[in-house]
């Protein structure tokens, strides 16, 4: 058996003991390796991708989602009945992200392989949704690509994940495009109703250091900043969504760089935010805050301030964005990469 890490129910139980009505999601990685599963066993069973379409070998680690048995293994072992029946959980969050971390944009795979891998991923998520829905729970996931790079909404540059493969792209061709279909969200969600058996997939809103200036838009921080804000507004309009900044901590031993990232990310989220959207700021799940022995769940002093309801929608002038709330005014400059939040209005 490819045993994985423990169930992680104790923390959820403590939360429920204090706030019984608070929804609690358990974290699951799309990666079997990061989940602590038996890599040797999975490799021997042939569930990993062994090589790309140019014949280059790949180290064990990426499940071959084209195989129904690989999809079912993830459902049974990484999610499983033990999670579906646990009363302390309301659902699971599958992190990864699904698309970009699972090679569906890899240049050494043909368009046919990319599309088959993504179809297999979508099939797995639907199977998880069916399992959890049968126990009144829901699933959400990090898709790992912005909407705008699929719809070409932001013409100056594409955001994380590359460009969707053209409809008429030869199936045996190689390129850096991604093997999604025209309706990216529908392929994953399928017949499931957001808020019932499946939330609108989470988007990891890793700004500024992850989305700003990435290779997909030529290393241009200004375009990356603006694209992230526009993407967030589009995505949050579709239903519940969660965004995060994975590169921030409150101490200033780095000269304040991480605090500036936190402020930029919060401003970007607030100017685009919609009802039922959420945001958090910290580091990665295994990281320690630099120069401390503390794990990355920091307390932020600005969370104590009142925000209130928005007084209007996001305002944009070139690459600057702003928005007014009942008790605050938020501004973001994507050229200078600076932000300001005026609290207490």
The per-residue pLDDT for range 276-285, each reduced to its tens digit, is: 787 888 776 5
Question: Cis (ω within 30 of 0) for the bond into 174?
Answer: no
- Spacing of C-alpha 110 from chain mean position: 25
pLDDT at 229: 82
Q: What is the dihedral of CA 159, 163, 99, 181, to 10 degrees?
A: 130
Q: What are phi and psi of 79, to 5 degrees?
A: -95, -80
pLDDT at 207: 52
Q: What are phi and psi of 243, to 5 degrees?
A: -125, 150
Question: Cis (ω within 30 of 0) for the bond into 67?
Answer: no
pLDDT at 104: 82
Angle at the Cα of 330 from the Cα atoms of 324 and 331, rounded to 5 degrees: 120
pTM listed for this prediction = 0.71
Mean pLDDT (whole number) for 178-204: 55
Tell me what the pLDDT averaged over the chain comes to: 78
Residue 56 — very low, low, confident or very high, per pLDDT cuts 50/70/90?
very high
Sign of CA dihedral 104, 109, 114, 116: negative
Q: Which long-range contacts (CB under 8 A, 24 or more apart) does 210-213 make?
A: 210/160, 210/246, 210/247, 211/159, 211/160, 212/337
CA-wise closest residue to 7 among 65, 87, 73 = 87
Calculate Rg over the CA atoms of the chain: 20
Mean pLDDT (whole number) for 224-229: 76
Mean pLDDT (whole number) for 11-29: 84
Rounded Cα gap, residues 316 and 230, in angstroms: 10
Start-to-end CA distance of the chain, whole Å, equals 59
The yes-or-no verdict on residue 157 having pLDDT over 50 is no
Q: Tokens 């459902």 correspond to what residue?
A: 75
Rounded Cα gap, residues 145 and 151, in angstroms: 12
The yes-or-no verdict on residue 54 having pLDDT over 70 is yes
pLDDT at 183: 56
Q: Is 219 left (phi over 0), alpha (psi -120 to 50) or beta?
A: left
> Of all residues in the chain, what percent carry a pLDDT higher than 70?
73
The yes-or-no verdict on residue 298 having pLDDT over 50 is yes
pLDDT at 331: 97
Instruction: Take residue 53 and report the two structure tokens written for it.
Output: 């379409």
Q: What are phi and psi of 308, to 5 degrees?
A: 80, 180
pLDDT at 72: 95
* Ranges 79-88, 190-199, 244-253: which has the least confidence: 190-199
Tally the residues of the chain: 345
The yes-or-no verdict on residue 51 having pLDDT over 60 is yes
* Ranges 24-28, 155-159, 259-263, 332-336: which has the least confidence: 155-159
Residue 193 Cα distances to 55, 197, 222, angstroms: 40, 6, 36
The yes-or-no verdict on residue 100 having pLDDT over 60 is yes
Return the top range by mean pLDDT from 129-143, 204-218, 300-314.
300-314
The yes-or-no verdict on residue 330 having pLDDT over 80 is yes
Q: What are phi and psi of 38, to 5 degrees?
A: -75, 100
Residue 246 — very low, low, confident or very high, per pLDDT cuts 50/70/90?
confident
CA-wise closest residue to 285 among 100, 34, 114 = 34
pLDDT at 327: 97
Mean pLDDT (whole number) for 226-255: 74
* Ranges 73-82, 159-168, 294-303: which has the least confidence: 159-168
Q: Tokens 């042939």 correspond to what residue?
A: 46
Instruction: Take residue 284 and report the two structure tokens written for it.
Output: 């990665």
pLDDT at 185: 55
pLDDT at 325: 97
CA-wise closest residue to 159 among 226, 244, 242 = 226
Mean pLDDT (whole number) for 35-40: 83
Report helix, strand or coil for 245. Answer: strand
Residue 25 vs residue 208, higher pLDDT:
25
- Spacing of C-alpha 28 from chain mean position: 12
Residue 32 vs residue 288, higher pLDDT:
32
Residue 272 vs residue 6, higher pLDDT:
272
Rounded Cα gap, residues 276 and 188, in angstroms: 20
């Amino acid at each position: 058996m490819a045993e994985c890490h423990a169930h992680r129910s104790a923390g959820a139980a403590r939360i429920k003991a204090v706030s019984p009505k608070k929804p609690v999601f358990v974290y699951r990685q799309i990666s079997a390796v990061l989940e602590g599963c038996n890599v040797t066993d999975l490799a021997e069973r042939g569930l990993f991708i062994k090589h790309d379409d140019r014949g280059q070998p790949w180290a064990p680690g990426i499940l071959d989602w084209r195989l129904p048995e690989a999809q079912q293994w993830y459902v049974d072992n990484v999610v499983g009945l033990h999670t579906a029946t646990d009363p302390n959980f309301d659902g699971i969050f599958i992190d990864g992200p699904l698309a970009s971390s699972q090679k569906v944009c890899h240049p050494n795979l043909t368009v046919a392989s990319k599309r088959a891998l993504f179809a297999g991923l979508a099939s797995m998520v639907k199977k998880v949704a069916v399992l959890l829905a049968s126990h009144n729970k829901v699933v959400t996931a990090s898709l790992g690509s912005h909407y705008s790079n699929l719809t070409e909404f932001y013409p100056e540059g594409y955001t994380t994940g590359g460009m969707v493969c053209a409809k008429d792209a030869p199936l045996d061709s190689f390129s850096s495009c991604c093997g999604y279909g025209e309706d990216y969200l529908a392929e994953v969600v399928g017949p499931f109703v957001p808020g019932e058996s499946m939330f609108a997939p989470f988007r990891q809103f890793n700004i500024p250091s992850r989305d700003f200036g990435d290779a997909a838009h030529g290393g241009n921080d200004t375009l990356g900043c603006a694209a992230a804000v526009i993407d967030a507004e589009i995505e949050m309009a579709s239903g519940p969504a969660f965004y995060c900044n994975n590169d921030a901590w409150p101490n200033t031993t780095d000269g304040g760089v991480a605090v500036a990232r936190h402020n930029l990310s919060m401003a970007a989220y607030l100017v685009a935010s919609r009802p039922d959207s959420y945001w958090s700021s910290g580091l990665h799940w295994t990281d320690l805050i630099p120069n401390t022995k503390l794990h990355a769940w920091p307390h932020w002093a600005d969370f104590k301030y009142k925000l209130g309801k928005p007084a209007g929608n996001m305002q944009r002038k070139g690459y600057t964005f702003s928005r007014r709330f009942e008790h605050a005014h938020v501004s973001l400059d994507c050229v200078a990469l600076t932000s300001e939040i005026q609290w207490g209005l």
